Amino acid sequence: MSVKKAIIILVILAAAGGGFVYFALAKKPAAIYTTQAVTRGKIVQTVSETGTVKSANETKLGFLNTGKIDKINFRIGNSVKKQDILAELDYSGLLTRAREAQANLDVARENLNKLLAGATPEEIAVARAGVDQAKTSYEAAQNELERTRDMVTENTLQAQKNLDDLLNNDPGSITTYEQSVISAQTSLNNAKATYQRSIDNYKAAALATIEDKLAVNNTALDTIDRTVKDEDAEDMISVKNTVYLTNTNIAYGEAKDLLTAAKISLAAAKADNNDNTVVAAAEAGLTALNKTFSALQLCFSALEASITSSVFSQADLDALKSGISSQQTLAAAAITALQTAKQNLDSAILSYDTNVSASEESLSVAEAAYDNAVRNAKNTLSSAKYSGNQQITLAESKVNAGREALAVAEAQLKKITAPANKYDISLTEARLRQAQAALDDTNKQIDNSKIISPIDGLVTKIDYEVGEQAMSGSPVIYLLGEDKFDIEVLISEADISKIKTGNKAEITLDAYGEDRKFFGQIEFIEPAETVIQDVIYYKIDIGFDAGEDDIKSGMTANVVITAAEKENALLMPSRSIVDKNGDGKFARILVGNEAQEKKVTTGLRGDEGLVEILSGVNEGELVITYIEEN
């Protein structure tokens, strides 16, 4: 092999080795999970603290009930004997309840005795009388039901007939409401016919008058035109005041236009013969005549302001004046005649409208009365049916009630004449026991309202006075008795909510080592806090169980208090739970080779890092306790 070829081979091998190292380093191994299975078992929550053994000669006594103190029978320094009543709450209400409970017990006992003895002849006679009375009431209810059905049927049929009479239009059974409608309709038809004839007559007269008076109007305008255009008088008219002639010509032109409009309006009125168009034609004619009359007046004034000449004599001027004056008279008469014709037509139309409207109103009133009568008849029929059904239902309910009352009375008679059965006896005996239990409970409450000395001793302290409110469990009286030891322990505010009176405790004393165990329980939790170097604690007393000797005051005690415990709880390590603020708590679960999060609800937090799971995971699932990232 040549040196050159060897070098090439070495280069290739070096490159391949470098690539292997690169890819080997570039590949990131998967994370390594440490897991633990979710299991079921017992979970215990304990509180561990150190305390000091002290003499328990002083016994704290309180009421088991809460209430107002009524009596304190001893003073500080007094000696007391075991079973002495030291203090009492106001239990007058309990005494009343006790008397009531005793009375209930007596009633229950007498009921049992009565049940065992059976019914008396007098009770049997009363029961038989009850059966007879129930039977009579039942039969009376049946008879009442039949009468009610007959009455309801009759009322319904009559209401139906009244409605049919209104709706059937039968001439043989016409009602007053129908007759009123017929009469009102006839009156309306007559009014329309009568007053329409009057309108038609006055319309015809008005059209004739309009046509005639427009001819008068036309003649008057022709007269004005001839007068102002007279060749002989052309330069003489209105010489004294030319305004009259100017105004005459203007008025003449306007009157000519109004006459044309009036003729058009007249033609339209003749074409459709409508009330409104005839009235409009009359108004147009009056407007044209009034304007023509004004033009005649101006023309006459122009003639008054005229002068004469050799070709236009005074006689010629007087003749023109006479012609205009005659047309004024005819125009005034035409205006009056046309006004009269229009007024007559307006009056006829008004009379038609007034009388027809009154007749229509009368018809509307009659129709409304008829409709109201039909509506009332329908309502009466519906009411008769509804009320009838209610009456029948009520009567049937009385029959049913009577039947049931008879059955009850017969059953009661059968019951009291039959011997007592074992079930009734058992029930009555149970009620007797229930009454006895109620009495016992009340008496127990009375006992709990008293403080009874458990030992012989001396009263050393009294925390309350008569009339004050004492809470259940709060020390009221302190006694100094025979030698007895307990442990005083300070519990931090973080743990005080976990414990309560009666919790068991396991105790070791430094004097005897950890191998010797003592046992006791919490006897008292002081409600007031104790502050030590700005840290809040609560003082508790743990009493030793009976039979413990060799204990001295001042010994250091290590106590483990069992605050809570549960059997068969679903358990997992608390370090597997992640608390996401605002979103809740999540457990990391290993599914295959993948970590998943499940939302969980936790319960009791116990010792050894365990926590109870209420929901979210199942027994056997693997929760991740540690993740090793590579």
pLDDT in tens, 429-440: 788 889 888 988
For the cut 90, the answer to whether the pLDDT of residue 100 exceeds it is: yes
The residue ranking higher by pLDDT, 363 or 548, is: 363
Mean pLDDT calculated for residue range 1-16 = 38
DSSP H or E stretch at residue 67: strand 67-72
For the cut 80, the answer to whether the pLDDT of residue 600 exceeds it is: yes
Q: Please state whether beta strands 39-55 and 556-573 pair in parallel, antiparallel, or not at all (unpaired).
A: antiparallel
Q: Any idea what the Cα angle at residue 419 is, between residues 418 and 421, rounded to 5°?
A: 110
Question: How many angstroms separate the CA atoms of 232 and 230, rounded?
Answer: 6
In angstroms, the Cα distances linking 102 to 426, 429, 436, 439 are 21, 16, 8, 6
Three-class secondary structure assignment of 510-553: CCCEEEEEEEEEEEEEEEEEEEECCEEEEEEEEEECCCCCCCCC
Choose the weakest-confidence range: 115-129, 327-341, 369-383.
115-129
Question: From the CB of residue 260, how many other CB atoms can be counted at a distance below 10 Å?
Answer: 12
In angstroms, the Cα distances linking 605 to 559, 572, 630 are 19, 10, 33
Q: Which residues of 346-366 are buried (b: 16+ CB within 10 A; e: fewer)?
A: eebbeebeebbeebbebbeeb
Q: What is the pTM of this model?
A: 0.39
Question: From the CB of residue 449, how many other CB atoms can be counted at a distance below 10 Å?
Answer: 23
Which residue in 520, 476, 519, 525 sits closest to 500, CA to CA? Answer: 525
Mean pLDDT calculated for residue range 190-203 = 89
Predicted confidence (pLDDT) per residue in 558-588, tens digit: 999 998 888 999 999 988 888 887 778 898 8
Where residue 57 falls among pLDDT bands split at 50, 70, 90?
Answer: low
The alpha carbon of 107 is separated from its chain's Cα centroid by a whole number of angstroms, namely 49
Residues 341 and 209 sit within 8 Å (Cβ to Cβ): yes
- Max avg pLDDT among 187-191, 335-339, 399-403, 565-569: 335-339
Query: What is the per-residue pLDDT for 373?
Result: 83
Question: From the CB of residue 542, how many other CB atoms can be counted at a distance below 10 Å?
Answer: 25
Question: How many angstroms separate the CA atoms of 266 and 220, rounded?
Answer: 19
Query: What is the per-residue pLDDT for 571?
Result: 92
Query: What is the per-residue pLDDT for 354?
Result: 92
Q: Mark residue 263 as left, alpha or beta (left: phi above 0; alpha: psi -120 to 50; beta: remaining).
A: alpha
Choose the weakest-confidence range: 54-63, 82-91, 545-554.
545-554
Predicted confidence (pLDDT) per residue in 158-189, tens digit: 888 777 777 787 776 778 888 888 888 898 89
Q: Any idea what the Cα angle at residue 422 is, between residues 417 and 425, rounded to 5°?
A: 80
For the cut 80, the answer to whether the pLDDT of residue 117 exceeds it is: no
List 585's β-bridge partners, or say none: 579, 600
Where residue 66 falls among pLDDT bands split at 50, 70, 90?
Answer: very high
Question: How many angstroms separate the CA atoms of 71 and 88, rounded?
Answer: 5
- Average pLDDT score, the chain: 85
Query: What is the per-residue pLDDT for 7?
Result: 36
For the cut 90, the answer to whether the pLDDT of residue 616 exceeds it is: no
Which residue in 200, 160, 197, 127 sits closest to 415, CA to CA? Answer: 127
Residues 6+ apart with CB under 8 A from 423: none
Question: How many angstroms separate the CA atoms of 37 and 225, rounded?
Answer: 132
Mean pLDDT calculated for residue range 455-470 = 88
- Max avg pLDDT among 71-85, 290-304, 357-371: 290-304
Place of tokens 């010792």: 607
Where residue 14 falls among pLDDT bands split at 50, 70, 90?
Answer: very low
DSSP H or E stretch at residue 11: helix 3-26
Residues 97 and 497 sit within 8 Å (Cβ to Cβ): no
For the cut 70, the answer to whether the pLDDT of residue 20 exceeds it is: no
Where residue 10 falls among pLDDT bands split at 50, 70, 90?
Answer: very low
For the cut 80, the answer to whether the pLDDT of residue 629 exceeds it is: no
The two tokens of residue 61 are: 């006594």
Query: What is the per-residue pLDDT for 17?
Result: 41
For the cut 90, the answer to whether the pLDDT of residue 103 exceeds it is: yes
Question: How many angstroms separate the CA atoms of 464 and 68, rounded?
Answer: 10
> What is the side-by-side order of every strand in the sheet holding 477-480?
58-61, 477-480, 457-462, 79-80
Mean pLDDT calculated for residue range 66-72 = 92
For the cut 90, the answer to whether the pLDDT of residue 413 exceeds it is: no
Query: What is the per-residue pLDDT for 483?
Result: 56
Which residue in 199, 87, 178 sits closest to 476, CA to CA? Answer: 87
Which residue in 342, 234, 225 sits closest to 292, CA to CA? Answer: 225
Q: Please state whether beta strands 556-573 and 504-509 pair in parallel, antiparallel, or not at all (unpaired).
A: antiparallel
The residue ranking higher by pLDDT, 502 or 350, is: 350
Choose the weakest-confidence range: 11-25, 59-73, 198-212.
11-25
Domain boundaries, the chain: 3-28, 180-389
